[in-house]
Amino acid sequence: MRLLRLARILSIASRYGLDEMILEQEPSGRLAACSRALHFWRRFDAPPAVRLRQALESLGPIFVKFGQVLSTRRDLLRPDIADELAKLQDRVPPFSSELALAQIENAYGRPASEVFAEFDATPVASASIAQVHFARLRPEDGGHEVAVKILRPAMHAVIANDLALLETLAVVLEKAWSDGRRLKPREVVAEFAKYLYDELDLMREAANCSQLRRNFSGSRLLQVPEVYWDQCTTTVMVMERMRGIPISQTAALVAAGVDLAALSRAGVEIFFTQVFRDGFFHADMHPGNIFVAVDPAHHGSYIALDFGIVGTLTDADKNYLAQNFLAFFQRDYKRVATAHIEAGWAPPETRADEFEAAIRAVCEPIFDRPLHEISFGRVLLRLFQTSRRFNVEIQPQLVMLQKTLLNIEGLGRQLDPNLDLWKTAKPFLERWMSEQVGRRAFHRGVQQEAPYWARTLPQLPRLVHQALTRQSNEPDLTPVLDELLRAQRRQQRLLGIIALLLAVLLAGHYLHF
């Protein structure tokens, strides 16, 4: 099956002349000339950009996702290619209305006319995994205007085949390339597969949407549609219909009176809020999934759509990332280097001073420059070269975050090329770090742990006695008993210190009020 899929990929690449497009990047031009000579019968009517987009559509959802990410990198692509790939964001050819209605009937066990008061069989958006139709709920269900997302038929088999091929390629890459093991291609593919399969369960997407809506409840920066759970299944998702202007239509936004500079700054704040406050972020933020509200009540706020891919971060990941971002913004390259070594991402024998100097050489030139003068693609390439030199390991759990950062940069370029990303993000990160350390963080930690201490402290004598009794039945356990007694005494001293600190903290708290 994998060989058949590989053959199909090579066949499609040849049909659309992708081999020739790639080989044309070789400076001498000889390889491209050889390719044209070997494929002398090929004639192409469409320009290269159109052929690239058509090839990605023919290859399926994984390759469409790849094209979506590329479409936001206008600093790395020719304008014609970027414009054509942008059509992959929400203009993938739809499946037929008959199939859509059949999917609805399979999901509910009854036709669409019995589920919805109105249903528009013509899709309003079509993407790689699903397509969206507008509808209205029946009066007994509230009569709300809704957007109905319907999963493409037979998606599991298509994605399974592509992922199997990617896994094979990852194994080959790991064995054949000197850098392969360090880059962890199999782990990266496994992480990508997890997110892709999550996209195929629309109940999971509905839960993601609901969580993000709750995280930004009351926010003036971001709107998230309400989910109508009674109408949701694994293959059909029903949510509130949102109205706005696609964020890619900057001329229409300006005509509607939206401040693009303020919008770009709000986008940075939304991203960092999701990552560092919540540890839960929208990881598919290409322009096709982001609208801007222009109604009087929400004018200028973002509207998030399509929640199939979200990223999550642990507290350790958030703390590590925040330290690195803040150190970058403060140009504290020594702290960046030591943070990598302390986290185990760089080998323990790495010389921090050499690593610091290499990071400084990459990052120093980009500070104090507007976004339109910075190519993060080239910066990432140089960071990649630096990480290879120092054997820094790629962290698969952060792959989606890296992808989202690239999308954020693409959006920032479209809205406000003069955005100073550093100055916009630094105050937010400083505020977040101050909440993680210091008096407020300690106070919050004490409040969170107080119920556990109150429940555990009275039980300690009994728990220690039970442990000693169990251990006393075992032969030659005198050293264990001695260690338990010493541990008990240490715990008692520690508990006394904690109780004293808690008393002082509470006294200060009440005196403050």
For 265-303, the pLDDT digits (tens) are 898 889 888 988 888 999 887 777 899 999 999 999 999
> 338 and 316 in one domain?
yes
Query: CA-based angle 129:240:228, to the nearest 5?
Result: 85
Residues 357 and 444 in one domain: no
Q: Can you give the pTM of this predicted structure?
A: 0.71
Last residue of a domain, one of 136, 168, 195: 195
Check residue 93 and report its DSSP letter.
Answer: P
Question: What pLDDT, on a 0 to 100 scale, did the predictor assign at position 320?
Answer: 74
How far is it, in rounded angstroms, from Cα 276 to Cα 317?
Answer: 9
In this structure, the answer to whether residues 169 and 83 fall within a common structural domain is no
Banded pLDDT at 219 (limits 50, 70, 90):
very high
Within this chain, do residues 336 and 296 fall inside the same structural domain, yes or no? yes
329 with 429, same domain? yes
Q: Is residue 138 part of a domain?
A: no
> In the prediction, which pLDDT does 479 show?
65
Most confident of 47-51, 362-366, 455-459: 47-51
Cα(100)–Cα(344) distance, integer angstroms: 49
Total domains in the chain come to 4
Residue 111 within a domain: no
| Residue 461 and residue 374 share a domain | no
Provide the H-helix boundaries in 177-218. Answer: 180-183, 185-199, 202-215
In a domain, 335, yes or no: yes
Q: Which of 396, 22, 394, 351 shows the shortest CA–CA distance to 183?
A: 394
Q: Of 195, 226, 260, which residue sits at a domain end? A: 195
Catalytic annotation present for 284 = yes
Most confident of 65-74, 76-85, 377-386: 76-85
pLDDT value for 244: 95
In a domain, 387, yes or no: yes
Domain limit, last residue, from 415, 437, 459: 437
Residue 429 lies in a domain: yes
Residue 117: inside a domain: no
81 is a domain residue = yes
Both 365 and 472 in a single domain?
no
Band of pLDDT at residue 513, cut at 50, 70 and 90: very low
pLDDT digits (tens, 9 = 90+) for 9-42: 778 877 887 766 665 554 555 655 666 666 656 6
Q: Are residues 257 and 346 in the same domain?
A: yes
- Per the structure, the complete domain to which residue 299 belongs is given by 245-437
What pLDDT, on a 0 to 100 scale, did the predictor assign at position 298?
A: 94
Asked whether residue 170 falls in the same domain as residue 297, the answer is: no
Q: Are 147 and 291 in contact (CB under 8 A)?
A: no
CB 371 within 8 A of CB 420: yes
pLDDT at 509: 45
Residue 226's pLDDT is 97
Confidence band, pLDDT 50/70/90 cuts, at residue 186: confident
What is the arithmetic mean of pLDDT over 497-506? 52
350 and 264 co-located in one domain: yes
295 and 415 fall within a common domain? yes
Contacts of 379 by beta carbon, 8 Å cutoff, 6+ apart: 362, 363, 366
> Which one of 45, 141, 201, 284 is the catalytic residue?
284
327 or 310: which leads in pLDDT: 310
What per-residue confidence (pLDDT) applies to 215? 96
Q: Is residue 209 part of a domain?
A: no
Query: How much is the average pLDDT of 128-144?
Result: 93
Q: What is the DSSP string of 340-380?
A: HHHTTSS-TT--HHHHHHHHHHHHGGGTTS-GGG--HHHHH
Same domain, 447 and 433: no
